[in-house]
Amino acid sequence: MATVTREAARPQLTAVQWTIGAIAAIGFLFDSYELLMMPLVIRPALVDLLGVPPTSPEINNWSGLLLSTPAIAGGLFGLLGGYLTDRFGRRRVLVWSILLYAFSALFSAFAPSAGWLLFWRCGIFIGVCVEFVAAVAWLSELFPEPKQRESVIGWTQAFGSLGGVMVTGLYYVSVT
């Protein structure tokens, strides 16, 4: 007697789940876009903020600070993000980290000095890193079926890489 085993049909994603996934993917795309855009605009921004020529050694000193300090701050707070999401809830931490990221990005555009630019860039990195932790944890909870969860987290994270492609495309358009 032959037995036929069928893999249980996976439930289809609902419209709400597709919407959540799409918004998460767009969010991850813009997170990486924001983080990767700085190296392209750092020199002209510092020339303007510091009032020095583009060949000044001060540009290199501030560039090093602006590229390393926010990444360190984001990494440290990203580690803290797991604790914060457990303590205060995924949604609450997600909302506050997105607000921190958004307002820091806005204020960095109007930074009156290199020091303030560094401060706001740290806020951006902290917001993005904590948001990343909270968003992945929340997505994991929203998709209880393992194959769906793996798929949704995989393709939403892939959009983070597209932020880098978008930076590359915009750089190409701006210099040609």
CA R_g for the chain: 20
Regarding predicted confidence, which is higher, 20 or 104? 104
Question: Would the pLDDT of 5 be above 60?
Answer: no
How many residues comprise the chain?
176
Across the chain, mean pLDDT equals: 91
* Joined tokens for residue 149: 């969860």
Higher per-residue confidence, 8 vs 175:
175
Mean per-residue pLDDT for 76-83? 93
